[in-house]
């Protein structure tokens, strides 16, 4: 695992001072000169997600930001120009629930409650999982710790491939919790009560009871761990709750009624059964990737093919998550999700849920120049991803 800081600073004994500074300046210079350039990209069609699509359209990029978007921009002399021909330009995709880059275990399964565990501490920024996401058009990724315990820790938001010296978009963002049976797995009540091998919870009710008691304690006492929970109750830190079965989804909604919090549901394989309740609560849902074993998800959930379409129609803000986002959007459209809703579900909708609407998710002046170029119609299954641009630099390109 490589640390977030530049790796070279760790090897002080290997690099003499003049060498180091020389190398560092070289490293600093290359990206900056690349970013300072004016770049114009012309495409046959641009889905800005900030109004109707432009066909054709031009995007003006400077210093890693979008400067202007329009059907026909004057192209400044001396600037770089890329013409995609009949190609299509989209905002970079946002995977709002991922475990990409988390190395060496996803949660601290020896304790039930670990709210200060940071996903960021275990993310390898050069992991192949993040690079692949970038190749798939994902530019921003929300990395959640796993569901092996009840309150598992803090998530982080990063660009999938970027300059190492850049700070993550959000170092410690939301709190990951679950109302699933995952933390129960392997726990049993058969041991002697005083055994150190005894672990709670041992059933679904136990999971929710632990959540309730932790939030209850947080209102009365303060420890560093509970400070995190207090932030949740104050509404300053969002909660990402993994719930798949209809009962678990309802349990999460009940918890939210008892302890007001900015709740985001994750998973939602059976959400179609309780869609009215979720819609009434106004809670967004990060839909887990549909497995190739149609109809059966984790925990033997009974899901349906048109889950995204049904939830969208019920008025629930949905995001598609878990990799292969464009592919997922295409299948969602086949089964009934409207095309514009499918594009929103992998761009602007996750940006809203992650409170990054002013940074990413649309092609709009002032936002990061995170763009995906396609060879044609995004919903045609023979359309390929040509390249992925993050902060004005093409980070992945079709061979």
Partner 1 sequence: MRCHSFVVLLVLTSLSGAWGEEVLAIKGGKILPVSGPPIESGVVVIRNGKIEAVGKDLAIPPDARVLDATGKVVMPGLIEVHSSRGMDQTNETNPIVPFLSVVDAIDPSQDYFEECRRQGITTAAIVPGNNTIFGGQAAIVRTAGQFLNEMLLKRDIGMKISLRPTGDRNRMGQVAAIRRELDAAREAMTERSRTSQAQPQPTPDAKGGNGSGPGPLAESDDEDTQQRRPRPGGGDQAGQETNPDAALVRAALAKLLKGEQIAFIYCELPMDVPQAVRLVKEYKLRGVLVLAPACHRAVKQVAASGLPVVLEPTLVLWESDPRTGEEKQIVLPKLYRDAGVPVTFTVTPTQPAGAGRGSGSQPPILGTNFLWFQAATALKYGTPYDEALRSITLRPAEVLGIADSRGSLEPGKAADVVILSGDPLKLDTWVETTIIDGRVVYERHNDRKIKALLKPDAE
* Residues of this chain that bind partner 1 (CB under 8 A): 99, 126, 128, 131-132, 135, 272-273, 289-295, 304-306, 309-310, 322-324, 327-328, 330-331, 333-336, 379-384, 396, 398-399
Query: Does a cis peptide bond (omega within 30 degrees of 0) precede residue 98?
Result: no
Shortest gap between Cβ of 375 and partner 1 (angstroms)?
9
Output 75 or 305, the one with its CB closest to partner 1. 305
Shortest gap between Cβ of 332 and partner 1 (angstroms)?
10
Nearby residues of 99 by Cβ (< 8 Å), 6 or more positions away:
106, 143, 144, 146
Which of 254-267 are b and which e, b meaning 16 or more Cβ less than 10 Å from the residue's Cβ? ebbeebebbbbbbb
In angstroms and rounded to an integer, the radius of gyration of the C-alpha atoms of the chain is: 22
Output 135 or 226, the one with its CB closest to partner 1. 135
Alpha helices in 235-385 (DSSP H): 246-258, 275-281, 307-313, 325-335, 339-344, 348-353
Nearby residues of 310 by Cβ (< 8 Å), 6 or more positions away:
272, 275, 304, 336
**Rounded Cα–Cα distance for residues 22 and 359 (Å):** 33
Output 45 or 330, the one with its CB closest to partner 1. 330
Output 90 or 218, the one with its CB closest to partner 1. 90
Output 209 or 335, the one with its CB closest to partner 1. 335
Using CB atoms within 10 Å of the CB of residue 31, give its burial: 0 to 12 exposed, 13 to 18 middle, 19+ buried.
Answer: middle
* Distance in angstroms between the alpha carbons of the first and the last residue of the chain: 27
Nearby residues of 398 by Cβ (< 8 Å), 6 or more positions away:
384, 385, 386, 387
Shortest gap between Cβ of 35 and partner 1 (angstroms)?
23
Shortest gap between Cβ of 6 and partner 1 (angstroms)?
16
Residue 183 tokens, joined: 């933390």
Shortest gap between Cβ of 236 and partner 1 (angstroms)?
32
Output 2 or 256, the one with its CB closest to partner 1. 2
Return the number of other C-beta atoms located less than 10 Å from residue 152's C-beta: 30
Output 33 or 382, the one with its CB closest to partner 1. 382
**Torsion over CA: 162, 165, 167, 172 (sign):** positive
Output 85 or 295, the one with its CB closest to partner 1. 295
Shortest gap between Cβ of 160 and partner 1 (angstroms)?
12
**Torsion over CA: 93, 96, 98, 101 (sign):** positive
Output 113 or 372, the one with its CB closest to partner 1. 372
CA atoms within 13 A on the CB side of 75: 15
Shortest gap between Cβ of 291 and partner 1 (angstroms)?
4
Shortest gap between Cβ of 7 and partner 1 (angstroms)?
12
**Rounded Cα–Cα distance for residues 181 and 205 (Å):** 9
Shortest gap between Cβ of 34 and partner 1 (angstroms)?
19
């Amino acid at each position: 695992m490589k640390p977030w800081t530049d790796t070279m600073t760790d090897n002080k004994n290997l690099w003499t001072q003049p060498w180091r500074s020389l190398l560092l300046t070289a490293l600093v210079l290359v990206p900056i000169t690349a970013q300072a350039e004016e770049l114009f990209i012309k495409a046959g069609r641009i889905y800005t997600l900030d109004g109707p699509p432009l066909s054709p359209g031009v995007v003006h990029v400077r210093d890693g930001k979008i400067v202007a978007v329009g059907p026909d921009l004057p192209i400044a002399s001396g600037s770089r120009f890329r013409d995609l021909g009949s190609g299509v330009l989209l905002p970079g995709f946002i995977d709002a629930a991922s475990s990409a880059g988390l190395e060496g275990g996803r949660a601290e399964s020896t304790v039930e409650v670990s709210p200060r565990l940071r996903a960021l501490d275990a993310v390898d920024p050069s992991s192949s999982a993040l690079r692949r996401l970038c190749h798939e058009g994902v530019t921003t990724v929300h990395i959640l710790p796993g569901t092996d315990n009840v309150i598992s820790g803090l998530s982080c938001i990063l660009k999938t491939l970027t300059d190492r010296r850049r700070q993550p978009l959000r170092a410690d963002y939301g709190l990951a919790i679950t109302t699933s049976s995952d933390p129960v797995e392997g726990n049993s009540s058969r041991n002697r009560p005083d055994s150190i091998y005894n672990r709670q919870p041992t059933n679904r009710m136990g999971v929710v009871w632990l959540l309730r008691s932790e939030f209850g304690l947080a209102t009365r006492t303060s420890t560093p761990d509970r400070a995190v929970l207090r932030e949740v109750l104050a509404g300053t830190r969002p909660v990402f709750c993994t719930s798949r079965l209809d009962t678990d989804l309802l349990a999460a909604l009940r918890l939210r009624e008892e302890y007001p919090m900015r709740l985001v549901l994750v998973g939602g394989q059976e959400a179609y059964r309780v869609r009215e309740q979720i819609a009434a609560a106004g809670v967004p849902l990060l839909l887990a990737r549909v497995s190739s074993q149609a109809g059966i998800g984790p925990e033997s959930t009974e899901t349906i093919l048109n889950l995204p379409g049904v939830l969208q129609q019920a008025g629930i803000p949905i995001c598609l998550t878990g990799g292969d986002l464009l592919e997922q959007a295409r299948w969602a459209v086949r089964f009934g999700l409207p095309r514009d809703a499918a594009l929103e579900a992998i761009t602007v909708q996750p940006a809203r849920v992650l409170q990054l609407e002013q940074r990413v998710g649309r092609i709009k002046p002032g936002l990061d120049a995170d763009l995906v170029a396609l060879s044609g119609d995004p919903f045609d299954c023979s359309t390929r991803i040509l390249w992925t641009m993050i902060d004005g630099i093409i980070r992945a390109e079709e061979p």
